Amino acid sequence: MDLFDAGRLRLLEAPPPRLSPRDRGAMDEAWAAAVRANPALFDGPVAGCTNLTHDERDGLVLTWVRATYRHFVPRGLPGATVRLPSLFVSVAQPSDDGRLLVGRMASWTTFPGRWQLPGGAVEPPPDGEPLDMTALRRHAARELAEETGVDTPADDLTPWLVIRQPNNSAGILFQAPPHPADRLFARHASLTETEHALGRTPELDRLVLVRSPDDLTDLTGPHVPCLAPVLRRHAES
C-alpha cells in the first residue's frame, strides 16, 4: 500500500486495453455469472488505471483508460493476461472532534459488509472532455452525498492523498470540511429514510466514526486495505 501527496497529480488518457478473443470470452462468461449471483450489477462506463508513476518535473502521473465494469472481472480469473486496475475517489469526512466517517457496504453491493471511506469508482467524462482534478472533485462530492447524505460543494473538497493498492488500483482521497457528529448521522438517517420509502437501501447501510487503526478492531467484518494506512496518516496529521 502506497500513499502519495495529491498536490501534484496529472492524469493522462490512454487507449483501452486490447483483449484476445480468449480473454474476452472468459471475461464475458465470468461477468454473466456475476450478474446471475447479483442482479444489481450494472456494466456501466468506468475508468481504469493502467499506470501510476512519479515524475520529478510533473509529480505524479496517472494513466487511465475507458472501460466498463466487466473489464475488472479478469483480475480474479486464473491465466488472464490483462488485469485492469480500477480508479476510484474517496472522501475523508471528519467530525468536529477529528474522527473520520467510515461506512459499511450494504448486502446488495459488490462487497457486502465491507467497511470503507465514502467513495466509489470514477466514471469517464464524455468524449473530448478531460478527466482532471475538477472532474474528480465532482465525482467525490457526488459519492459523498449519495452514500452519506452529506451534501458538500465540490470546491470545498481538498485533494489530500493518492492511494496505490497492492493490485495497482489507484484512488484519489479528498478531505472534506468537518461537521458535528450528530449532523453527520442525521444526514445519513434522512437519506436512509428516503431510500427505504423508495424500496431501496443506501449503499452504506451503517456509519461510524473512527480515530485511528485501533478503532477498526471494534468493527465486525472486513475493511478495505487502505483504511488503516489512511487512518494512521490522519492520526499523525
Confidence of residue 58 (pLDDT cuts 50, 70, 90): low
pTM confidence score: 0.91
What percent helix, strand, coil does the chain show, rounded to 5?
30, 30, 35
- Distance from C-alpha of 66 to C-alpha of 13, rounded to nearest angstrom: 8
pLDDT digits (tens, 9 = 90+) for 59-72: 899 999 999 999 88
Q: Specify the pLDDT at position 73.
A: 83
> pLDDT above 90 covers what percent of the chain?
68
pLDDT digits (tens, 9 = 90+) for 25-48: 888 998 999 899 888 888 999 999
Residue 228 predicted with pLDDT over 70: yes
Residues 231-234: contacts with CB under 8 Å, at least 24 apart: 231/100, 233/3, 233/161, 234/92, 234/94, 234/100
Q: Specify the pLDDT at position 19.
A: 86
CB neighbour list of residue 12: distance below 8 Å, 6 or more residues apart: 61, 62, 63, 64
Q: Which domains does the chain have, with CATH numbers?
A: 2-236 (3.90.79.10)
Question: Within 10 A of 199 (CB to CB), how many other CB atoms are there?
Answer: 6
Is beta strand 87-92 parallel, antiparallel or unpaired with respect to 170-175?
parallel
